[in-house]
Chain A
Amino acid sequence: MSTATTAVEPAESTYTFSPETLQAVLAPDEAPRRASWLSASVTFGWRAMLKIKHVPEQLFDVTAFPIMMTLMFTYLFGGALAGSTTEYLQFLLPGIMVMSVIMITMYTGIAVNTDIVKGVFDRFRTLPIWRPSTMVGYLLGDAFRYTVACLVILGVGLALGFRPDGGVLGVAAGIGVLVAFSFAFSWVWTMFGLLLRTEKSVMGVSMMVLFPLTFLSNVFVDPSTMPGWLQAFVDVNPISHLVGAVRTLMAGGWDTTDMTWVLVSGVLFTVVFGTLTMRLYNRR
């Protein structure tokens, strides 16, 4: 058994081991300084983008699903609730945008969960880097997907007759708030992604959390038509306030109460679920 046998091997590799070349690369000029927290996070964000590049199918979720939602709800409820679909669309579109993006956030948990099963995660965890950067990287990649989803819905909306009074600036501000909140909210999913054993269970839990959170809100109708106990929930549901804030921004206004709710709940999600995520990440 000697390495000389490698010479006859064709296809896979004509790799012949040479101690000299290996010795040469083993002596690097000098070890670099440690990566900063920012550069580590951005590098992981780059990884998420590369994954989108190599597995573009994952963009399907962020395009097909929102288009379907917009069309479905506009025509399903439009005539019945507001008399005309165009009129209803002015009210509905910001809400549908929020709902779709919040729904998509669950893919973060699935991505984390599928990565853990593979070995890459182990390598990341043995690196001397700022620990949350791995997770922040996922969220940065996801923020890109959220933005894509928003733009897709906006496109569909404009085609159907959505004419926001806030103009370009108002719409951009609305999307900005939505993406920022979703970034914070996604820490819930990084936590579940680490906590639960299988992709299926992550899906299951995501649905259990997301359905009440998005449907029991002011996305579709004004809460004043709801029974009292339901109104009480809708009023404290952060998604309602997010919808309120985005709707007002796109209509060219500003709602301080809603914005405060969004800000405070965003910070809470980050602090609470970010901490839990990192605890699980370090424990595994």
Chain B
Amino acid sequence: MSSPLCGMKKEDIVSAMAIETRGLVKVFGKTRAVDGIDLAVPAGTVYGVLGPNGAGKTTAVRMLATLLRPDGGDARVFGHDVLREPDEVRRRVSLTGQYASVDEDLTGLENLILLARLLGYDKRAARRRAEQLLAAFGLTEAAGRQVKNYSGGMRRRLDIAASILNTPKLLFLDEPTTGLDPRSRNQVWDIVRAVVSHGTTVLLTTQYLDEADRLASRIAVIDRGKVIAEGTPGDLKASVGAGAVHVRLRDPGQRTEAEWVLSRSLGGHVVLEADPVALTARVSVNGNGDSDRRTAEQAAAALNALAEAGITVDDFSLGQPSLDEVFLALTDRTVDEEKNA
């Protein structure tokens, strides 16, 4: 246990990183659920872990929260090893699991009092703290109802309230908005922002690209247990392609020709959209220099080429690729690599 002399101070010196992992591995039978993950999560930020079903997000989070023992590699939370100093880790983290981590048979109030008592609040303080949180999360009216009768959004809020009872230094949110309606999702986002502005680090897993884009300052994209890309949302977009041109034609009969022209002019892959007059082409610029300017030049050249070919263009725009495109491009690439291997 930390002595008063080297408690908080030592920790601040040890690490400005909330989480550091090296070669983290977890194997279930034949499945390598987490297959050598390196993460560095700076303290005080929201870090997004993005991945499809079965990518290994929950498994990774559970190892970091001391719920699962890693089979290989190491992981430290604020400088404390999850295997050797689990209690030190537990004092600093809270987990809101993918499936509600509250007791469905108890009421909202009882759930929070229970946890507050376990965290060391005395009877009166526990009740006060529970009521405070219920009020802040708009659950005062539902306080006396069993959680099994709560709506999904209310349950999520109670779950998050339970996780910030003792205002942890690091909060794990495992797919906090999966299954929520847009309004409840927005509420969760606002809560996350408030928690982070208070100084808590948040590690958030999600399948939604816009969620990671909105909340996270850095994102790790994982697929089949491996990090396939890491960086700021901007970095990720840049690594896939600087942008994309979206074209709408007047005459659907000219689409095949337009596809050919765009593909020659931009040297890349052209996507035919569901709309019979729409096409999207990725603009890739290699090498260094002002990539934004070169992207714009290439787009202009492409528009020119279309005009020279006599194709009537109704709408032409240049945009950043969405994270969806980023994700598809990244996962496609790993599939291709595997096929070649």
Given A122-B97, A127-B119, A55 contacting B182 (CB threshold 8 A): no
B260 at the interface (CB under 8 A from A): no
For this complex, 5 residue pairs linking A to B, each with C-beta atoms less than 8 Å apart, are A1-B182, A13-B154, A19-B193, A39-B117, A54-B146
B322 at the interface (CB under 8 A from A): no
C-alpha spacing A254/B338, complex, angstroms: 76
* A51 near B87: Cβ-Cβ < 8 Å: no
* B121 near A128: Cβ-Cβ < 8 Å: no
B194 at the interface (CB under 8 A from A): yes
* A28 near B166: Cβ-Cβ < 8 Å: yes
Tell me the B195-215 residues at the A interface (CB within 8 Å): 195, 197-198, 200
Instruction: Tell me which residues across on chain B come within 8 A of A17, comparing CB atoms.
Output: 138, 186-187, 190-191
* A119 near B136: Cβ-Cβ < 8 Å: no
C-alpha spacing A157/B141, complex, angstroms: 47
A268 at the interface (CB under 8 A from B): no
Instruction: Tell me which residues across on chain B come within 8 A of A284, comparing CB atoms.
Output: 67-68
Q: Mark B109-129, 1 if CB is under 8 A from A, else 0.
A: 010001101111110010001
C-alpha spacing A155/B117, complex, angstroms: 37
A5 at the interface (CB under 8 A from B): yes
B250 at the interface (CB under 8 A from A): no
**B interface, how many residues as a size bin?**
35 or more
Instruction: Choose the segment among A40-48, A81-89, A243-251 that binds chain B (4+ C-beta atoms closer than 8 Å).
Output: A40-48
Instruction: Tell me which residues across on chain B come within 8 A of A31, comparing CB atoms.
Output: 120, 166-167
* B187 near A128: Cβ-Cβ < 8 Å: no
Q: Mark A47-75, 1 if CB is under 8 A from B, else 0.
A: 10011001100000000000000000000
Given A32-B121, A120-B103, A15 contacting B97 (CB threshold 8 A): no
B25 at the interface (CB under 8 A from A): no
* A13 near B104: Cβ-Cβ < 8 Å: no
For A22, give the chain B residue with the smallest CB separation. B194
Most buried by B among A17, A21, A44: A17
Instruction: Tell me which residues across on chain B come within 8 A of A119, comparing CB atoms.
Output: 97-102
B294 at the interface (CB under 8 A from A): no
B118 partner, pick from A2, A26, A40, A118, beta carbons under 8 A: A40
* A50 near B67: Cβ-Cβ < 8 Å: no
C-alpha spacing A33/B119, complex, angstroms: 8
B136 partner, pick from A14, A24, A118, A120, beta carbons under 8 A: A24
B271 at the interface (CB under 8 A from A): no
For A117, give the chain B residue with the smallest CB separation. B99
Given A119-B99, A127-B90, A35 contacting B69 (CB threshold 8 A): no
Instruction: Tell me which residues across on chain A come within 8 A of B339, comparing CB atoms.
Output: none
* A126 near B120: Cβ-Cβ < 8 Å: no
B65 at the interface (CB under 8 A from A): yes
Tell me the B131-161 residues at the A interface (CB within 8 Å): 132-133, 135-139, 141-142, 146, 151, 153-154, 157
Q: For the complex of A and B, list the 7 residue pairs with the smallest distance between their C-beta atoms, beginning with the closest.
A: A15-B138, A119-B101, A32-B120, A123-B101, A128-B90, A43-B117, A35-B120
Chain A proximity of B22: nearest CB distance (Å):
22
B91 at the interface (CB under 8 A from A): yes
Given A3-B186, A21-B136, A32 contacting B66 (CB threshold 8 A): no
Instruction: Tell me which residues across on chain A come within 8 A of B242, comparing CB atoms.
Output: none
A197 at the interface (CB under 8 A from B): no
Q: Mark A3-17, 1 if CB is under 8 A from B, else 0.
A: 101100100111111
Given A28-B129, A128-B90, A13 contacting B138 (CB threshold 8 A): yes
Chain B proximity of A198: nearest CB distance (Å):
17
B95 at the interface (CB under 8 A from A): yes
B105 at the interface (CB under 8 A from A): yes
B183 at the interface (CB under 8 A from A): yes
* B153 near A12: Cβ-Cβ < 8 Å: yes
B125 partner, pick from A9, A32, A123, beta carbons under 8 A: A32
